[in-house]
Structure 1
Amino acid sequence: MFELDIRSRKPIYEQLTDKIKEMILYGILRPDEQLPSVRTLSAQLTVNPNTIQKAYRELEREGYTYSRPGKGSFVSPAQQGSLAIKRAELRGELLRLMAEAVYLGFTDAEIGELYREASEKRGEESGDD
């Protein structure tokens, strides 16, 4: 379910939060679906349970998940207000990255191709072929 790169400079908890966010955004994890328990995921990934717990806390802080005492962590239902905020933040980040891409010489065609690749990848991962 989750693949982590132990040689990456990116902390493991950030890799995990990014992967879970991606799975939520692509519809692989549905609203109110339960995430694997900290112990289960820790054993599966051979990662310290505290690292998993840190990732889950970060996801909850950002509004991607919620927890129920004694039950575990669940995917939050999409809320229009928080979704709009996330979209605005992502738009700003994309503009920054696009400006950098233009500076580095990316053409309109190359940027368009990157968009198509991302769109195709989303379709493949959510099974919308």
Structure 2
Amino acid sequence: MDFKSNVPIYLQVTADLKARILTGEIHPGDKLPSSRELALSYEINPNTAARIYTEMERQGLSYTKRGIGTFVTEDTSVLEYHREQELKRILHAFTSELKSFGYDTDDIPNLLKKYSEKKEVTE
């Protein structure tokens, strides 16, 4: 967590948990840590942890069973939607960066092929 960032802590932690869910580190149906456990692991206020779970539920990434805990959604369409949104965000940033270096959109497939086959990046 970057406590000096302009991005609120609850959004930073939400993004981290979301990434862990979308990459499969945390699986659909898995029980998430309690708000108190989450607060301890991220060294944040328990109220912030509760806000994180509220935000995750708002995004459809989790649900709460009263008295039992918070769980990752098992709705694969929701997870696929979020994966696609992340893909769009990453590709937009990637193509924008390449264009700022003077590459054309038509160059991108060849660049991807060329550099995805290399084992290391040289400086």
Question: TM-score of the superposition, structure 1-length normalised?
Answer: 0.69
Comparing 18-27 with 45-54, greater Cα deviation is found at 45-54
Assess, with a 3 A threshold, how the Cα gap between structure 1 residues 95 and 44 changes in structure 2: closer, same or farther: closer
1:32 counterpart = 2:29: yes
Q: Which has the higher contact order (CA 8 A, sep 6+)?
A: 1
Name the residue aligned to 1:112. Answer: 112
Assess, with a 3 A threshold, how the Cα gap between structure 1 residues 58 and 103 changes in structure 2: closer, same or farther: same
| Off by >6 Å, runs of 4+ in structure 1 | none
Give me the whole-angstrom Cα distance separating, in 1, the residues matched to 2:83 and 2:23. Answer: 14
Assess, with a 3 A threshold, how the Cα gap between structure 1 residues 21 and 84 changes in structure 2: closer, same or farther: closer
Assess, with a 3 A threshold, how the Cα gap between structure 1 residues 55 and 98 changes in structure 2: closer, same or farther: same
Cα deviation, residue 97, structure 1? 2.3
Count of residues in Structure 1 that have an aligned counterpart in Structure 2: 111
Name the residue aligned to 2:120. Answer: none
Q: Cα RMSD over matched residues?
A: 2.8
Structure number with bigger Rg = 2
Give me the whole-angstrom Cα distance separating, in 2, the residues matched to 1:91 and 1:44. Answer: 28
Q: 1:85-124 counterparts in 2 under 5 A? A: 85-90=81-86, 92-94=88-90, 96-105=92-101, 107=103, 108=108, 112=112
Assess, with a 3 A threshold, how the Cα gap between structure 1 residues 84 and 23 changes in structure 2: closer, same or farther: closer
Give me the whole-angstrom Cα distance separating, in 2, the residues matched to 1:85 and 1:44. Answer: 28
Name the residue aligned to 1:12. Answer: 9
Give me the whole-angstrom Cα distance separating, in 2, the residues matched to 1:41 and 1:84. Answer: 25
Name the residue aligned to 1:60. Answer: 57
